Amino acid sequence: MLKLPQSAYVSLRRHGEETYPHECCGVLLGQIGDNSVRTVTSVARAGNTRTDSAHNRYNIDPKDLIRIQREGRGRGEDIIGFYHSHPDHPARWSQTDLAEAHWFGCSYVITSVEKGKAVLTNSFELTGSGENHKKLVDEKIEVSPPEGSPDGNRPQKMRAARGQPIGRDHAAISASPNDPAFVARPAGKPVYYGFQVLDDVNVDGFTLGKITDFEEEPCDSGDAFVVAPDNSRAGLVWEVHEPPYFEEVRPADPERWGVWAVSFPFPMTDRENARRNLQTVLPRLNEKWEAWRRGGGTKPR
Amino acid sequence: MPKIHIPTPLRQYVGKQPAVEVKAGTIGAALSDLVAQHPDLRRHLYTDDGKLRAFVNVYLNDEDVRYLQKEATAVKDGDSISIVPSIAGGR
Ligand SMILES: [Zn+2]
């Protein structure tokens, strides 16, 4: 597993956007703990020496690497991995990547950059007993939130079960003075009342609402809901993932037209990407909404 | 004595040390002393026919020994030798 501070994650993805349509590359510094958990404490950008073929090859000058290694040593950091980008190409390792990987027990992070925008970031550990027996193995990336909120006076954020901040609608009126509106929903209010509806994240009359607050803390998965043109609602359990999927978590009932597990192709970094993601899953959602509206015993009242 | 800095993936073969001191007057002798002290390291640095693997860069302080006198490059006390496997790839 690779643990990255959010600043490092943002920095290496941005690096790929800056060098597009060329590949970027850089070094991950930090510590390798027991059971091969690699914890990044800083990221060093490197130049790509493959100016002859920079759109599909990268190479870090060993001289740069020695300098980066020496500077890291001064801070008690070791080289624990590397990153590079794949301009207009998926975030999967290639045969060239494997053949040229020699740092066993280190992480190789790859970000796909499509039309100048960073899309997916995946990490692979180089494992094996030597050059004749080596593999790049998928590993989990854990992005940790920034240390110390810039606004220290803000009341502590409410967090969802998986530790993400909640996208509260602060204008919602609660039925209980001690609980937020989404816990104590007043009679007559729709499901997901109390969570923020993002009026500008709208495609063909369908609007996205956020349950976990991806704007507060970028993440690869979360909870959301969709408000249909008739104001009826469905739940979404989303994940930034390739290849795409669309699965039922909870069937439709009179109150909502189901809860759906969906994959999003674009990182949930801002509302424009959220809108593109909604657009991608909308054909399937629209089908579910239409089916619910037609009845099938689940239409309200 | 000159010191050889060991990259993270090879430290498991040298008792997890980040650097190893060697007794040597040249780069070639320094590497020989290193693998003599830590025989498990040999196959990771050399091919079966005894050549330094192509992706293994050896630096004396900040210079690539390929651009100095290669294995015959002189080393002295306090020199810092780095073994740096290459970092490259592409889609
Ligand atoms: Zn690659």
pLDDT at A153: 32
pLDDT (average), residues A13-25: 95
Give every CB contact of residue A52 below 8 A, 6+ residues apart in sequence. none
Q: How far apart are CA A222 and CA A169, in angstroms?
A: 17
pLDDT bracket for residue A49 (50, 70, 90): very high
Which among A210, A180, A183 is positioned nearest to A198, based on CA atoms?
A: A210
pLDDT (average), residues A112-126: 94
**Interface contact flag, B9 A108, Cβ < 8 Å:** no
Q: How far apart are CA B80 and CA A120, in angstroms?
A: 39
Question: Which structure tokens are listed for A300?
Answer: 């309200």
Residue of A71, A73, A102 to mutate for B, most B C-beta atoms under 10 A: A102
pLDDT bracket for residue A245 (50, 70, 90): confident
Q: How far apart are CA A176 and CA A109, in angstroms?
A: 47
Q: Which residues pair with residue A44 across a beta bridge?
A: A27
The alpha carbon of B7 and the centre of ligand 1 are apart by a number of angstroms equal to 22
φ, ψ (nearest 5 deg) of residue A259: -125, 130
Which among A58, A60, A65, A64 is positioned nearest to A23, based on CA atoms?
A: A58
* Residue scoring higher pLDDT (A73 or A172): A73
pLDDT at A157: 40
pLDDT bracket for residue A301 (50, 70, 90): very low
pLDDT (average), residues A241-247: 83
pLDDT at A159: 45
What is the longest distance spanned by two Cα atoms in chain A?
A: 72
- Strands of A78-132 (E only): list them: 78-87, 107-114, 117-130
State the nearest Cα–Cα gap between A220 and chain B, in angstroms: 24
Give every CB contact of residue A152 below 8 A, 6+ residues apart in sequence. none
pLDDT at A296: 59
State the nearest Cα–Cα gap between B23 and chain A, in angstroms: 22
Question: Which structure tokens are listed for A39?
Answer: 């914890």
* Residue scoring higher pLDDT (A216 or A153): A216
Q: How far apart are CA A261 and CA A278, in angstroms?
A: 13
Neighbours of A251 (CB within 10 A): 11
Give every CB contact of residue B55 below 8 A, 6+ residues apart in sequence. A100, A102, B85, B86
Asked if A93 and A25 touch (Cβ cutoff 8 Å), the reply is no
**Interface contact flag, B84 A56, Cβ < 8 Å:** no
Q: How far apart are CA A245 and CA B64, in angstroms?
A: 50
Average pLDDT, chain A: 86
* Residue scoring higher pLDDT (B23 or A146): B23
Lowest mean pLDDT among A13-17, A74-78, A153-157, B72-76: A153-157
Domains and CATH numbers, chain B: 3-85 (3.10.20.30)
**Interface contact flag, A69 B5, Cβ < 8 Å:** yes
pTM of the model: 0.64
pLDDT at A6: 84
Lowest mean pLDDT among A7-16, A24-33, A172-181, A186-195: A172-181
Judge whether B40 is closer than 8 Å to chain A, CB to CB: no
**Interface contact flag, A105 B86, Cβ < 8 Å:** no
pLDDT (average), residues A61-76: 93
pLDDT bracket for residue A83 (50, 70, 90): very high
Asked if A201 and A178 touch (Cβ cutoff 8 Å), the reply is no
Catalytic residues of A, which ones?
Answer: 23
pLDDT bracket for residue A162 (50, 70, 90): low
Please report the DSSP string for A19-76 in residue order: HTTSPPEEEEEEEE-GGG-EEEEEEEEE----TTSTTT-EEE-HHHHHHHHHHHHHTT
Q: Which fold has domain A2-159?
A: Cytidine Deaminase; domain 2 (3.40.140)
User: pLDDT tens digits for A283-293?
Assistant: 899 999 999 98
State the nearest Cα–Cα gap between B71 and chain A, in angstroms: 18
In chain A, CATH 3.40.140.10 sits at: 2-159
pLDDT bracket for residue A155 (50, 70, 90): very low
pLDDT at A164 exceeding the cut of 70? no
The beta-carbon contacts of B37-40 under 8 Å, at least 24 apart in sequence, are B38/B13, B38/B14, B40/B13
Q: Phi-psi region for residue A76, left (φ > 0), alpha (ψ -120 to 50) or beta?
A: left
Question: At which residue do the structure tokens 């060098």 appear?
Answer: A19
The alpha carbon of B56 and the centre of ligand 1 are apart by a number of angstroms equal to 20
Q: How far apart are CA A149 and CA A246, in angstroms?
A: 35
Average pLDDT, chain B: 95
The alpha carbon of B12 and the centre of ligand 1 are apart by a number of angstroms equal to 27
